[in-house]
Amino acid sequence: MFGLSTFEYDDDGFRTCGVTGLDVHESAEDMVKLYGLTAIVALLIGGIFAFFVAMTRWELIGLLNPSDFYRYLSVHAWYLLIFWMVFMEIAILYVGGPFVLGRRLSLPWLAKAAYGLMVVGAVVITYGIWTQSVPDQAPLLTSYAPLPSPASFYLGVDVFLIGALVAALPFLATVWREQREHPSKTLPLITFGAFITSIVAAEAIIGGLVTFVPALLWRVGWIPHIDAAWYREMYWIVGHGTQQINLLAMITIWYFMTHVVGGAEVASEKVSRFAFVLYLFFINMGAAHHLLSDPAVGTVWRMWNTSYAAYGAVLASMIHAFAIPAGLEAGRRRKGKGGGLFGWLWSAPWKDPGFSATILSIILFGFLGGITGVMMGQMQLNMTWHNTLAVPGHFHATVATGTTLAFMGLGYYVVRLVFGREWVGGILASIQPYLYGGAMGVTVLMMMYLGVLFGVPRRHPSVMDIPGTEFSFAVARPFFAIFGITATLAILGGALFVLIAVASLLAGTAFTGDPRIEALRAAADGGDRADAPHHQSMRGTFIFTLLFLGTFVVLWALNWLLLSQVWKVGP
């Protein structure tokens, strides 16, 4: 598809990947290209809108007027939080299923039909946002009823969600057929992770239809009333659920990329799979943390959903936080790539953007996104986070640094391994993940400071000038200046990725293999069988995770200290 690939298929439509050793079928590869490239187009559009949003919130520039700001913010949110992510995730399902299992994609016509639905849905959503006028308001991501959004917007969301649900079916059918043929065989870890991702995704999407179909009927007048509390509870099944698809897809990518590029092995199949199962049962309930400062849900409900339920998922994330670097450490030690405490890291391919993007994704997601998610997920702390700029700070840490970096890392290898093109840009490709990740990391830190330390609200075009009052957030101005500069750098870093990816597809030379990766594979083949990964020392990883836990505890204590300074609230 697209005629951009340098690979040839055999008579059955298969080819063997020279790097991963996977047998890849044309039917699956075509769809990975289609969904993957569409995702990159969404990243490009969302990134352009990110510039307008950031330059409005940096009020020194103050680019947009209020009504334009909400419109642009809505486009930015839908293109990056939904379209960029979901199109990429479908591609990841088709990699995790057919690619890894060495099968053709089952029901390929359904994958095409789903793609059509998703694109139509995305276009209708965009139309709805762009043509919105009073009494309708810009939907942003949440379109909280009873504030009306355009009917076309709700319709577009319904079509898009149905498309995404259908797109998971070819993946599930492929796994089904594999299991029918080999009932006693265990799925590879990557496929298992992708499978759990698809289940969590289906739950999220069904929640979305439960929300947005009645919302559409309400907007066109067939249902007279929609309850705000009911809407919120249903909405967050999909609102946060979609971001949990990102999380699971990202973790699956972490296992995949650290293995392919870094030589990681599975430290413990049991522990890693157990963590995925924890997600399956608990992570959707974690979405309740959006309702911790809500009037219509009881205290016990809030406590249960954000403690037992959420900590089931938090525990899972902490397991992966150990298992993935440990797999890298063990795998590299086993291949003779690391002595001492951190030798396995010093010797790693840091100039390879696929590797560095993955590692930066792991670090930034954990330290910035994961910890802050647990903070605001504590019922009382939530009062100091709720609806402040710290909330977008948190989810930019998870999605814009964590997931986006992981997908960029994967994107570099889609260019190489799916399209068979070497990257253009040389040193620029090597620095891109550092530029993007570093700048975005500082940006999200500023958003969190602004939100928690100054109470700066989210979704506001101007906090330095609030009409009708002398009051303003002017003391926060220096933080906004740093925010504005680093956000611009991050957007440039993102643009650089799109540029390198597109230029490589059009003008890259044929990818003929990477000597560092070949050396890893040679070492793996010659490795000592008895010398299993779990016998390797994981002391480097242990130190990193202890550092992580220490940071976690300190930030947690600081947040509670800040809360204790607030006046008395509640009984």
| Positions 131 through 170 that interact with another protein (CB under 8 A) | 133-135, 137-138, 140, 142, 144, 146-147
Q: Which of residues 58-97 bind another protein (CB under 8 A)?
A: 66-67, 70
- Residue carrying the six token digits 């906090």: 463
Q: Which range touches another protein (CB under 8 A), out of 53-61, 107-115, 184-192, 359-367? A: 184-192
Residue 478 sits in the site that holds another protein (CB under 8 A): no
Closer to another protein by Cβ: residue 71 or 429: 71
Q: Contact, 180 vs 167, CB < 8 A? A: no
Q: Contact, 398 vs 376, CB < 8 A? A: no
Closest residue by Cα to residue 42 from 106, 121, 107, 102: 121
Could you tell me which residues come within 8 angstroms of residue 60 by beta carbon, excluding any fewer than 6 positions away?
A: 480, 481, 484
- Measured at the CA of 184, the angle between CA 179 and CA 190, to 5 degrees, comes to 60
- Torsion-angle region of 194 (φ positive above 0: left; ψ -120 to 50: alpha; else: beta): alpha
Least separation in angstroms between residue 110's CB and another protein is: 25
Q: Contact, 358 vs 314, CB < 8 A? A: no
Closer to another protein by Cβ: residue 257 or 415: 257
Least separation in angstroms between residue 272's CB and another protein is: 8
Least separation in angstroms between residue 466's CB and another protein is: 5
Q: How many residues sit in the footprint of another protein (CB under 8 A)?
A: 120
Q: Which of residues 251-280 bind another protein (CB under 8 A)?
A: 255-256, 259, 264-271
- Residue carrying the six token digits 């990193």: 544
CA end-to-end span of the chain = 64
Residue 480 CA from chain centroid, whole number: 25
Least separation in angstroms between residue 463's CB and another protein is: 8
Closer to another protein by Cβ: residue 7 or 552: 552
SS3 category, 182: coil
Q: Which of residues 188-217 bind another protein (CB under 8 A)?
A: 188-190
Residue 194 CA from chain centroid, whole number: 14
Q: What are phi and psi of 303, to 5 degrees?
A: -65, -45
Q: Is the dihedral of CA 201, 207, 212, 214 positive or negative?
A: positive
Q: Which range touches another protein (CB under 8 A), out of 29-37, 348-356, 489-497, 557-565? A: 557-565
Closer to another protein by Cβ: residue 60 or 549: 549
Q: Which of residues 322-341 bind another protein (CB under 8 A)?
A: 322-323, 326-327, 330-331
Q: Looking at 347, 492, 552, 555, which residue binds another protein (CB under 8 A)?
A: 552
Closer to another protein by Cβ: residue 127 or 274: 274
Q: What are phi and psi of 349, to 5 degrees?
A: -80, 75
Q: Which range touches another protein (CB under 8 A), out of 110-118, 203-211, 236-244, 321-329? A: 321-329
Q: Which of residues 372-411 bind another protein (CB under 8 A)?
A: 374, 378-380, 382-388
Closer to another protein by Cβ: residue 436 or 548: 548
Closer to another protein by Cβ: residue 95 or 164: 95
The site map against another protein for 506-525 (x = CB under 8 A) is ---------------x--xx
Q: Which of residues 37-56 bind another protein (CB under 8 A)?
A: none
Q: Contact, 17 vs 32, CB < 8 A? A: no
Least separation in angstroms between residue 412's CB and another protein is: 18
Residue 285 sits in the site that holds another protein (CB under 8 A): no
Q: Contact, 84 vs 46, CB < 8 A? A: yes
Closer to another protein by Cβ: residue 123 or 229: 229
Helix 477-507 and helix 404-417, axial crossing angle in degrees, nearest 10:
10
Closer to another protein by Cβ: residue 37 or 104: 104
SS3 category, 339: coil
Tell me how far apart the alpha carbons of residues 41 and 402 are, in angstroms, rounded to a whole number: 19
Q: What are phi and psi of 173, to 5 degrees?
A: -65, -35
Q: Contact, 264 vs 345, CB < 8 A? A: no
Least separation in angstroms between residue 70's CB and another protein is: 7
Residue 276 CA from chain centroid, whole number: 16
Closest residue by Cα to residue 272 from 202, 348, 326, 220: 326
Q: Which of residues 288-317 bind another protein (CB under 8 A)?
A: 291-296, 299, 303, 306-308, 311, 314-315
Residues 238-253 as b or e (16 or more Cβ within 10 Å = b): bbbbbbbbbbbbbbbb
Closer to another protein by Cβ: residue 80 or 162: 80
Least separation in angstroms between residue 567's CB and another protein is: 5
Least separation in angstroms between residue 449's CB and another protein is: 10
Strands 14-16 vs 23-25: parallel, antiparallel or unpaired: antiparallel
Q: Looking at 110, 455, 481, 516, which residue binds another protein (CB under 8 A)?
A: 455
Closer to another protein by Cβ: residue 22 or 107: 22
Q: Which helix (H) or strand (E) holds 23?
A: strand 23-25
Closer to another protein by Cβ: residue 343 or 455: 455
